Chains A and B, each alone.
Chain A
């Protein structure tokens, strides 16, 4: 059994890690709420940087970011949501349909196709970026939503996750449906897909995080603010010296809020998704 001193040590260590994790976030929030940039620069090298007294807190920075004509924050946010929404939304159907065929149907060459899909998982996007850029360039997709969406809908790893899930469903269920007159499409649509809630959640979370965080690809294929995702917009804002910390932090807080709210609401699912991605 754990001794008292051991438990105190564990608690102390855990609190230390909490401090390390939360302090930078406190810095972000505190700085974003300090309306006076001079005050921020004054606080920057001290513990005061991590704190804002409630009396001094102001939303000036947020108002500035939201009202900026050159940095249309809401447009950027919409772009990111739009791109991720399409990738994930369409991807769920496209990837699960392929996985259904690979796991539940009989046809020649099935194992070969499955092996190819699994092999494709290890190709990193970074190794494909340049030829893909050339292709997208040729078809005139630069600076478009489709350049950010279409190439990423089919996702071998998502297919694999769906495959694993479908392969574990009892075979009797499909057979019962076939006996009742269902076609393969109906079995996929009315039986398999409605049962795959847990994988859909896993795939949606993993793909959302992946493309919400995308940096390299949007950096190459977006030019203006019309289709630029929010993370890249922050990166370019950050890359324009001198840094206006209040605005940067307000921007950061606002773009992190949607994800943080989702995370707090579905924490268990987020963590289970990561675990599911590791069980290969």
Chain B
């Protein structure tokens, strides 16, 4: 069990900076997920924590001790790789035992630990098999088992589910969540899949271009994205973002208008935004309903994607396009005119720099953290 603290961490290859000064603190027992588009540095950051990549500058502390120059084995971490990295010539048992054998652990103890991990992961019957006799999900379990037997301070996962098929991913996701509850260990998890991030994390760290764009609980990121990048990255379908002009500023909110939008008061703290400024209004597709709403917008229907229980509709409005996630029973087809509505309290406003203005009406749910069973 351990806490982790990262201060001004940087990584560069020659003149190219991959990680541009990351600050982060991770509490003992926390499940932290690094997400971001490919090339954002999330894997590099994880590998720096593992000790597989050199730290160019800054400090990495585990339990308060600087570990920058420690070898991976001295950091008390265990890592699960995307490819599982099982040793092809060793049985499942020996794959899990290898690290302990290297450490010179006594045979009986190794046996007890391996069997315990196998029991936790329900794979006692697989111990004599070799990796090529296992399914993808089973290999994944072995890789996790290999981490468990070492009883590490921190578990590191590098996109561990990305090689599994969709159905198995859902199962393994649930198992990982359960594993975290059972072990109560500190876990750091890298993924590009926001569903994994939302469902598993205590804290999501969104990275882009080597910078942390926001770190917070999943619902905080969803309801209170701090900038356009996070707003666009979290949520599917993507948040609608349309330009608008500020026509009035008041403590209760900002009045914005646009060709598609009649003047509307959005309850955000105006901050430094002045009348006449151009801002970006963000509204999530799931906050738009068919028919009139507190604010109504009318446009021409473009693409219609029927998912059954819901329908994704793209609507061309003057000055841009809106995607709406409406109920599955509204009759609409391309070319028709459709009126949709949303509530201004659901809207987000971003200033010219792309930073979010603080929302004044915060849904209660945004404060909810992952629920843990009472100890």
Do A and B share a direct contact in the complex (Cβ within 8 angstroms)? Answer: yes
Q: Are the CB atoms of A179 and B83 closer together than 8 Å?
A: no
Residue count of chain B within 8 Å CB distance of chain A: 24
- Does A105 count as interface, using CB distance less than 8 angstroms? no
A182 contacts B by Cβ under 8 Å:
yes
Residue from the list A175, A186, A194, A195 in contact with B102, Cβ < 8 A: A186
A186 → B minimal CB distance (Å)? 6
Q: Which residues in A have their C-beta under 8 angstroms from that of B79?
A: 175-176, 179
Known contacts A178-B52, A179-B72, A195-B88, A172 near B98 by CB under 8 Å: no
B interface footprint on A176-204 (CB within 8 Å = 1, 0 otherwise): 11111110001000110011000000000
The answer for the CA separation of A105 and B81 in the assembled complex, in Å, is 19
Question: Chain B CB within 10 Å — which of A176, A182, A191, A195 has the most?
Answer: A176
**Contact at B72–A172, with CB atoms within 8 Å?**
no
Whether a CB of chain B sits under 8 angstroms from the CB of A170 is yes
If A194-B89, A195-B88, A195-B89 touch, whether A177 touches B98 (CB-CB below 8 Å) is: yes
Contact for A172 among B73, B82, B89, B99, CB less than 8 A = B82
Which residues of A lie under 8 Å from residue B146 when comparing CB positions? 176, 180
How many Å from the CB of B136 to the closest CB on chain A?
A: 15
Report Cα–Cα, A190/B50, bound state, in Å: 22
Q: What per-residue 1/0 map shows which CB atoms of B218-243 lie under 8 Å from chain A?
A: 00000000000000000000000000
Decide: B102 and A181 in contact? CB cutoff 8 A. yes
Q: Which of A152-182 contact B (CB under 8 A)?
A: 170, 172-173, 175-182
Residue in chain B with minimal CB distance to A193: B89
Most buried by A among B51, B71, B73, B78: B73
Compute how far the CA of A178 lies from the CA of B53 in the bound complex, rounded to whole angstroms: 12
Residues in A whose Cβ lies below 8 Å from that of B150? 180
Report the nearest B residue to A195, measured CB to CB. Answer: B89
Alpha-carbon separation in the docked complex, A170 to B83 (Å): 9
In the complex, B120 has a CB within 8 A of chain A:
no
Give the docked Cα–Cα distance between A182 and B101 (Å).
10
Cβ of B97 to closest chain A Cβ, rounded Å? 10
A interface, over-half SS: helix
A175 touches B98 (CB 8 A): no
Complex formed: what's the CA distance from A111 to B79 in Å?
Answer: 30
The 8 Å CB contact of A178, one of B72, B82, B84, B103, is: B72
Nearest neighbor of B149 in chain A, beta-carbon distance: A180
Task: For A182, list chain B residues within 8 Å (CB).
Answer: 73, 98-99, 102
Asked if B85 contacts A176 (CB within 8 A), the reply is yes
Contact A190 B98 (CB under 8 A): yes
| Given A175-B52, A176-B79, CB of A181 within 8 Å of CB of B85 | no
Q: A177-B98, A179-B50, A179-B52 are in contact. Are A172 and B103 (CB under 8 A)?
A: no
The answer, among A172, A181, A195, for a CB contact under 8 Å with B81, is A172
CA distance A170 to B163 in the complex (A): 15
Which B residues lie within 8 Å of A179 (CB)?
50-52, 72-73, 77-79
A-B contact count (CB 8 A): 59
A residues less than 8 Å from B52 (CB atoms): 175, 178-179
Residues in chain B near residue A170, CB distance under 8 A: 83, 85
Please name the residue on chain A nearest to B80 by beta carbon.
Answer: A176
User: Which of A173, A186, A194, A195 is close to B85, meaning CB atoms less than 8 Å apart?
Assistant: A173
Interface core residue of A172, A173, A178, A191 (most chain B CB under 10 Å):
A172
Closest approach, in angstroms, between the C-beta of B364 and any C-beta of chain A?
A: 42
Q: Is the CB of B89 within 8 A of A180?
A: no
Q: Which residue of B lies closest to A194 (CB)?
A: B89
Which residue of A173, A178, A191, A194 is within 8 Å of B73 (Cβ)? A178
Report yes or no: A176 in contact with B81, Cβ–Cβ below 8 A. Answer: yes
List B contacts of A172 (CB < 8 A): 81-85
Which A residues are CB-close (under 8 A) to B83? 170, 172
In angstroms, how far is the closest chain A Cβ from the Cβ of B195? 24
The 8 Å CB contact of A181, one of B50, B86, B99, is: B99
Chain B residue at minimal CB-CB distance from A176? B85
- How far is B73's CA from A173's CA once the two chains are assembled, in angstroms? 15
Closest Cβ of chain B to A105, distance in Å, is: 14
Smallest Cβ-Cβ distance to B83: which chain A residue: A172
Please indicate the chain A residues that have their CB under 8 angstroms from the CB of B81 in the complex: 172, 175-176
Residues of B within 8 A of A180 (CB): 73, 78, 98-99, 102, 146, 150
CA A177 – CA B88 in complex, angstroms? 13
Alpha-carbon distance between A84 and B99 when the two chains are bound, in angstroms: 37
B contact residues around A173 at 8 Å (CB): 85, 87
Q: How far is the CA of A179 from the CA of B98 in the complex (A)?
A: 11
CA distance A260 to B89 in the complex (A): 31
Select from chain A the residue with minimum beta-carbon distance to B152. Answer: A179
The CA-CA distance from A190 to B102 in the complex, in Å, is 10
Cα–Cα distance between A228 and B108 once the two chains are bound (Å): 53
Which residues from A are CB-within-8-Å of B87?
Answer: 173, 176-177, 191, 195
CA distance A176 to B102 in the complex (A): 13
Residues B132-163 near A (CB distance < 8 A): 146, 150
Question: Can you list 8 A-B pairs, Cβ within 8 angstroms, ordered by A?
Answer: A170-B83, A172-B82, A175-B81, A177-B87, A179-B77, A180-B146, A182-B99, A186-B102
| New contact pairs (18) apart from A172-B85, A173-B87, A182-B102, CB-CB < 8 Å | A170-B83, A175-B50, A175-B72, A175-B79, A175-B81, A175-B85, A176-B87, A179-B50, A179-B52, A179-B77, A180-B99, A180-B146, A180-B150, A181-B72, A182-B73, A182-B99, A194-B89, A195-B88
